[in-house]
Amino acid sequence: MPFCKVADRQSDTERACDNGIEIFYRTYGHGPTKVLLITGLAGTHDSWGPQIKGLTGSDRPNDDDKMRTVDQNSGAVGDSEMDGEIEVCAFDNRGMGSSSVPTQKSYYTTKIMAKDAIALLDHLGWQKAHIFGHSMGAMIACKLAALVPDRVLSLALLNVTGGGFECFPKLDRQTVSIAIRFLRAKTPEQRAAVDLDTHYTKEYLEEYVGSKTRRAILYQEYVKSISSTGMQSNYGFEGQINACWTHKMMQTEIEVIRSAGFLVTVIHGRHDIIAQIYYARRLAENLQPVARMIDLHGGHLVSHERTEEVNQALYDLIKASESKISPHNWTNLPQKNSGSASLRWISPSRTSTDLSTFGIAEKINLCLLYMCKLFVSVFEHTRRTQRSLRPVRVEASLT
C-alpha cells in the first residue's frame, strides 16, 4: 500500500512531531492536471469517492492491479472532456484510517497537518496542484495555501468554518441529541446511525430509491465502511478535535491567499448542522475578490448529497484557473463598499434596529457557545479526575 513518510520531507526542527508518521494515500486517473483532496474530521480518503469518480471517471485507485472500470453513473461532468486530463490524490489524515496515529494531542494542528499534505505533494513530485478540502480538510487546505501559495493552482473549501468556537453547531434540541448519540456510539452500527443524521438532510434520507429509503441503503454502506476501517481511536479523535479547536486563520494568512493569484470556491450546504453557513460566507467575503460562494440545498456532506452540482463547481474552478479568468469576473460576491453591510450579507433594506438586533443575537450565540465549551471542558476534567481516583482492585497473589 502507498505511504508517504512525513519526516523524510521535513527539516530537522520539524521532525519531533513527525518522526515515524506515515500518511496513507491513493491516486486515481492520469493526466497533467493534479488535484489534492483533503479529508475532514474522522473521515478516510474514500469519503471523496463521488468527486474522484466525477473528476477522473475512474472508480479504482492507480495502485489497484484489477481492471479499472468507469462508472457511468458517478456524477461525472463531461467524461469525454476530462478523460486523460486529471490525476487525483486522496489520503487519510494523521489520526485516521491507515495513516499513523500520534498519541500526543499537540501533534495535531491544522498547520502540522497542512505540512503532511505538502510532504505528500513532494512525495508525488507534484510541484503545483488544485487543493480541495472538506470541513476540517478545508481548514487544512487554507493553512496549506497560506504556507505555500506558489504551489496552489486553485482552492476549493467545502463546508468550512474558521475553527475554534465556529466549529460548534447551532445549539438546538436536534444537535444536542446528535452530539450525545455521537459520544455514546461504540459500534459501527451506532456510529453509522448518527453519522447519517449529521451528514445529510432529513428529506434526502427519506427519499425512496426503488423499494428502500436512502437511509436504509446508506446505513448498510456506512456500517460496512466503518467496519472495514475500524472505529477512530481516542487518540486520533481527540487529536483531530484539537486541530479544529485550535485552528485560526490570521489576517496576514488571509492576505497571502487573496494576493496569491489563484481562484477560490467556497461550497456549503444550506442545512449543514455541523458547520454553520454564516462562517463560510464570512470567510468567502474576506477572500474577495478571488472567491466565489456556492450554497446548495444539502447538509454537511453536500459533496455526496448534491454530487453533480459539486462536481460541476469543482470542474468549473479547474477550467477557470486554466483559462486565467480574472478574479473580478470569477467572484459572485457583492463588492465591499465603505458603510456597506455586505460583510454580514444583510439586505440594504434592513433598518438600524434590525442591525442592532442581529448584533445582539450574534453575541448571545457566542456566549452560549463559550458556555457550552466551558461545560464540556469541566465535564471532561471531572471524568478524568474520577478515573484517576478509582480504587485499584488488588487480585489475590499467586505466590
Q: Which of 244, 236, 238 is nearest to 96 (CA)?
A: 236
Cα(238)–Cα(104) distance, integer angstroms: 9
Cα(82)–Cα(89) distance, integer angstroms: 16
Question: Beta strand 129-134 with 33-38: parallel, antiparallel or unpaired?
Answer: parallel
Task: Encode 268-282: b = buried (16+ Cβ within 10 Å), e = exposed.
Answer: bbebbbbbbbbbbbb
Provide the 8-state DSSP code for 185. -
Domain ranges of the chain: 3-9+19-65+83-179+232-330
Question: Which alpha helices (H) appear in the chain, and where do they start and end?
Answer: 49-56, 79-82, 110-124, 136-147, 173-184, 188-199, 202-206, 214-229, 234-246, 251-259, 277-286, 302-305, 307-322, 327-330, 352-389
Output phi, psi for 96, to 5 deg: -150, 150
Q: What is the pLDDT of residue 342?
A: 37
Cα(287)–Cα(336) distance, integer angstroms: 11
Contact assessment for residue 298 and residue 269, using Cβ atoms and an 8 Å cutoff: yes
Give 275-297 pLDDT, tens digit per residue.
999 999 999 999 999 999 999 99
Q: What is the pLDDT of residue 138?
A: 98
Q: Is the peptide bond before 289 cis (omega within 30 degrees of 0)?
A: yes
- 390 has a pLDDT exceeding 80: no
Q: What is the pLDDT of residue 173?
A: 86
Q: Which of 257, 329, 315 is nearest to 75 (CA)?
A: 315
- 13 has a pLDDT exceeding 70: no
Cα(294)–Cα(313) distance, integer angstroms: 8
The answer to whether the pTM exceeds 0.85 is no
CA-based R_g, the chain, Å: 22
CATH entry, 3-9+19-65+83-179+232-330, from 2.20.28.160, 2.40.100.10, 3.40.50.1820, 3.40.50.10320: 3.40.50.1820
Q: What is the enclosing helix (H) or strand (E) of 366? A: helix 352-389
Mean pLDDT of the chain: 84
- 357 has a pLDDT exceeding 50: no
Helix axes 110-124, 136-147, angle to 10 degrees: 70
Cα(141)–Cα(256) distance, integer angstroms: 13
Cα(249)–Cα(262) distance, integer angstroms: 18
Cα(31)–Cα(83) distance, integer angstroms: 8
Q: What is the pLDDT of residue 127?
A: 98
pLDDT-derived band at 140 (thresholds 50, 70, 90) equals: very high
139 burial type by CB count under 10 A (0-12 exposed, 13-18 middle, 19+ buried): buried
Q: Which of 332, 335, 328 is nearest to 313 (CA)?
A: 332
Higher pLDDT, residue 172 or 104: 104
Contact assessment for residue 275 and residue 41, using Cβ atoms and an 8 Å cutoff: no
